[in-house]
Amino acid sequence: MKWIKSRAVLAGLIVTAVATFGSVAAAQQRELILSGFGGAYDEAMAESVKSFEKENNVKVTIIPGSGANNIARVRNKEIDVIVSDPVFALRMEAEGSFAPLDAKLIPNLKALHPKAIYSDAVIAANFGAYVIAYNPAEVKPPESWYDLAKPEYKGRIALRGFRPENIELITLFAKLAGGSERNPDAGFAELAKIARNIDVWINAHADHLELYRNDQIAMSMWTDGRIAWARDVEGVKIQGAIPKEGFFPLSSTLSVVAGRPNGELSQKLVNHLLSPESGVRMAEKLGYFPTNRNTVLPPELQAKLMLNPKNIDDLQSADWKYIVTVYDQWQSRWDREVQR
């Protein structure tokens, strides 16, 4: 049995060595896990956090996250800081998964535009703008959200299903008709009207692009950043128009997950991502407008964005804390009344 014994001893040695080296390495460098959106967003963030890593002697690992995947990760406390949207973030906060944002550690909090603050633990780092996208060769620039329901556009419109931007649209229509988040019937009714004009309920940005390219639709709701990409990079005939009733933000929220080892460092990371330098970089790379009011964008850059310091106040935002509590009911209504 000699060979068994010696094998066991050897294995034991290897395991011990690895563990020792591993823990030594871990002790030497701290790590923060930052969950992003994947793709260009994560690339932009990666560039931005380089200086943070150096200043704080920390490694920031960026992993792509999406939808419900994030929920699992947050519940399992696998990540430190999460980039998300108000719907998910507020849900997670309600479960007690986030740590409140500390103004002492995050001085940039004070400089945020009020519309970017959703709660103690959820704030937006930047905004995209949801506007009406249209093909200028096919239709005149639309002036109102109600234009989407016009009979001459039957079969030429696309929307994205039960997503935050459509929830905002329901709320807006409800408010315009005298209702509110708590009384949204008018909103659902208007969406049901628009639904009759819908060619396709889209899922992915690539599909959205193809619909314009193949001339399947003439109008839809899209972000200014994506419209610019479709027009300038992909060469599709498309423009964006801000309707007179206002427009909706695409919020990229930041939150700190509670119960992780490097809580203070995570808050500092949030601060860094809210900084003007970070804001400028996100605007450059992704066309997103920074929520930090102290950020000054160079004029050529600002000219490319639809959002600017003047019209940012026109952003419509629903009471997301309330909506998160009735989310399932609204979804049921959406399935039955709108997306048929």
Partner 1 sequence: MSATQSLQRTEIRGRGLGVNAGELLGRSSVFLPFVFVVVFFFIPMGWLVATSLSTHEIGSPPEFTGTLEHYARFWTDPFYLETALWTTIKLSVLSTVFALLIGYVLAYYIAELPPQRRGLITSMVVVSLAVNIVIRIFGLNVLLMNGGLVHSVFGLIGMPRIRIMYTELGVLIGLIQIAVPYVVLPLIGVIAAIDPALKEAAASVGANRYRTFWAVTFPLSLPGVVAGTLIAFTLNAAAFAIPALMGGGRVRMMGMMAYEQAAIQGNFPFAAAIGISLTILSLLITAIYLFVVSRTFRTLR
Who's near 96: CB < 8 A, 6+ residues apart? Answer: 258
- Non-local CB neighbours of 288 within 8 Å, separated by 6+ positions: 126, 127, 128, 225, 250, 252, 282
Binding pattern for the stretch 114-153 against partner 1, x by CB under 8 A and - elsewhere: ----------------------------------------
Residue type, 240: G
Per CB under 8 A, does 325 bind partner 1?
A: yes
CA atoms within a 13 Å half-sphere pointing along the CA-CB vector of 110: 4
Residues 232-271, mask of contacts with partner 1 (x by CB under 8 A): ----------------------------------------
Residue choice 24, 235, 310, 328 for contact with partner 1 (CB under 8 A): 328
Q: Does 205 help bind partner 1 (rule: CB under 8 A)?
A: no
Of 313, 192, 202, the residue nearest 247 (C-alpha): 313
C-alpha to C-alpha distance for 83 and 69, rounded to whole angstroms: 12
Reduced DSSP (H G I as helix, E B as strand, rest coil) percent helix, strand, coil of the chain, to 5: 50, 20, 30
Among 56, 185, 205, 327, contact with partner 1 (rule: CB under 8 A): 327
Structure tokens at 53: 């890593």
Q: How far apart (Å, rounded) are the C-alpha atoms in residues 335 and 332? A: 5
Segment near partner 1 (CB under 8 A), from 24-32, 128-136, 226-234, 323-331?
323-331
Cα 174 to Cα 168: distance, rounded to the nearest angstrom? 10
Q: Does 37 bind partner 1 (CB under 8 A)?
A: no
Single residue of 80, 181, 190, 199 touching partner 1 by CB under 8 A: 199
Q: How far is the CB of 212 from partner 1 (least distance, A)?
A: 13
Query: How near is the Cβ of 22 to partner 1 at its closest, in Å?
Result: 26
Report the DSSP beta bridge partners of residue 82: 35, 255
Of the listed pieces 184-192, 194-202, 221-229, 273-281, which binds partner 1 according to CB under 8 A? 194-202
Residue with Cβ nearer partner 1 (1 or 27): 1
Closer residue to partner 1 in complex, CB, 71/111: 71
Start-end of H helices in 204-275: 205-213, 224-228, 263-273
The least distance separating partner 1 from the CB of residue 303, rounded to whole angstroms, comes to 35
Asked if 331 touches partner 1 (CB under 8 A), the answer is yes
Q: Does 302 bind partner 1 (CB under 8 A)?
A: no
Tokens of 182: 């708590």
Q: CA-based Rg of the chain, rounded to a whole angstrom?
A: 23
To partner 1, the closest distance from the beta carbon of 94 in angstroms equals 4
Residues 6+ apart with CB under 8 A from 177: 186, 187, 190
Q: Does 219 bind partner 1 (CB under 8 A)?
A: no
What is the per-residue binding string for partner 1 in 43-82, x denoting contact by CB under 8 A? -----------------------xxxx-x---x-------
Q: How far is the CB of 34 from partner 1 (least distance, A)?
A: 20
Three-class SS of residue 57? coil
Beta bridge partners of 99: 256
- Applying CB under 8 A, the residues found at the interface with partner 1 are 1, 4, 66-69, 71, 75, 88, 91, 94-95, 161-162, 199-203, 207, 210, 214-216, 324-325, 327-328, 331, 335-336, 339-340
